Chain A
Amino acid sequence: MIRRGFQAAVRLGQHRALFGGPQVLPRLNPTSAFGSSTDALVSRFCPEKTDLKDYALPNASWCPDMLDLYQEFLEKTKTDGWIKLPSFKSNRDHIQGLKLPSGLAVASDKSDWRIFTRCIQVEGQGYEYVIFFHPSEKKSICLFQPGPYLEGAPGFAHGGSLATMMDETFSKTAYLAGEGLFTVSLNIRFKNLIPVGSLAVLNVHVEKIEDQKLYMSCIAQSRDQQTVYAKCSGIFLQLQLEEESPQ
């Protein structure tokens, strides 16, 4: 299983989606050996050598807090078992060689489709974020800095932008911790507004995995943990991706 995972990671193929309309989500087959291990998923998710642009790297728009924390966690990737997740233009780039279960894949996969959190390409204007994942403790940290294009109330980030960031962090954590694919529910309690251009640290934990669902919780707070911006609990559905048939 792991060998197959590594082989697929090395293979650089073009992926094509199956044609078919979306139907009711398929149930996971409980008799099949469930899923790849976290290590296999991580190795496929974070290809060592790739031509794809990684957006989760520091740039001129990052505030000093964000740069400091980034360096701190980069050190921890060498010592404490953390992994920095790359962030590509589309989720499809993370799952090369895999496809959605038949019945879910949609028609025509256009190359101009991008992941929502990387839609605003101007540096510093939209989502500036980086996610660090800890495989053994099944937890993540996301450093998030909202730009001026994410404004809701004047001077503060839109509630939806924080919801998006939480959903995105949940999504990456759920996939790597247990092949979680789709959001089932999100329950967000907003406490304080995030000023545009300031840092928010999102801590995500996987509480439990049962009944084909992953239960996660998240707290978004300032760097010094004095201000809590929001608390959220999310449930993700586990679904195994299928290997693409060799062309």
Chain B
Amino acid sequence: MLRGCAGLLRSWALRGPKRGRSFSSEVLHVDHSLPNPSWNEDMRLLFDQFMKKSEDGSWKRLPSYKCNPPERIEDVKIFFPDAKLLKEQMSQAQQFPRSLGEGVGFEYAMFHNHVEDRTVCIFQGGPHLQGVPGFLHGGAIATMIDSALGMCAILTGGIAMTANLNINFRRPIPLCSVVVINCQLDRVEGRKLFVSCNIRSMDEKTLYSEATRGGPEGGGSAPCDVIISVDYQDWSQVLWHLKLAQFKKFKKKNANLCINMSFCLKRGKKPQHAAAAVIWKTRSLPSGLCRQFTRSASRLHP
């Protein structure tokens, strides 16, 4: 039954709710992850780039609607039988990031790559998302991160609720600018899904924030104490500097060690950057190895 629900939810995420169901308004069936007049040039450019990538089938655009589909409401009733889902409220309810008007709030579109198993969200924050004058509200950024990571988790693991959300803000994001949220699934531990993301500017040169999100809590310890993002010129450099073989030997002896390396390699005619995110529990590593990591990372990324 659970597998069936998960499958239902995944198909909903990819295809959207069936038409002709109980919602009264036509407006609620509109797919909002499509360009509209409020999108600026940068946003449209990014959207077109990703739509082009979808042509070969590896990337897929995820539709986004104002309301939860009936299937999802039924699924929630299964997991939360005590929930008082009042009929009145249900008819008025709207999915949070889509409840603001066109152009003034969250304008975003999500794309999923099933080959690399990662999700990308392009996001333009509107004028009603202000915090410090001229910049995006930290909570708006948190909402977007939660939505994007949530989608990433659902597509991989079925129904998921946020248990932990850990965000490091590096730079304030100017209002009405376009950013790219790159999400990926790091690992699965039983019922827990660990997903992480980073927010970068369009040209990927500015890092705005990094976040990790853990799935249902089961009394486990926090997964991340230290996060280092480094840009590597070549994967062979990564292997050499991180002494992967030594690390793997160490990992075999220590089953509880949480080490996760996720990387993206783009091959092409020009040398491409490979980005590697290394996450570890510092107290599980001997101090010598920690120092090695820090030295390698600082040499490559001063």
Contacts and interface: CB of A to CB of B under 8 A. Distances in A.
Interface string A1-43: 0000000000000000100001011000000000000000000
Contacts of B73: 154-155
Contacts of B145: 160
A143 to B, nearest CB: 17
Contact of B146 (A17, A110, A112, A163): A163
| Chain B interface size, under 10 / 10 to 19 / 20 to 34 / 35 or more | 35 or more
Given A91-B132, A120-B99, A155-B85, A185 B168 contact: yes
A115 B131 contact: yes
Interface stretch (A63-71, A134-142, A144-152, A202-210): A144-152
B35 interface: no
A184 B87 CA distance: 40
Contacts, number: 199
B163 interface: yes
A90 B96 contact: no
A159 B76 CA distance: 15
A168 B168 contact: no
A199 interface: no
Nearest to A17: B134
Contact of B143 (A104, A125, A160, A171): A160
A145 B73 CA distance: 22
B94 A149 contact: yes
B97 interface: yes
Contacts of A59: none
Interface of A: 17, 22, 24-25, 90-92, 95, 100, 104-106, 109-110, 112-117, 119-120, 125-126, 148-161, 163-168, 171, 181-191, 193, 195-197
Interface of B: 68, 72-73, 76, 80, 83-86, 89-90, 92-97, 99-100, 104-105, 127-135, 137-140, 142-147, 150, 161-169, 171-172, 174-175, 217
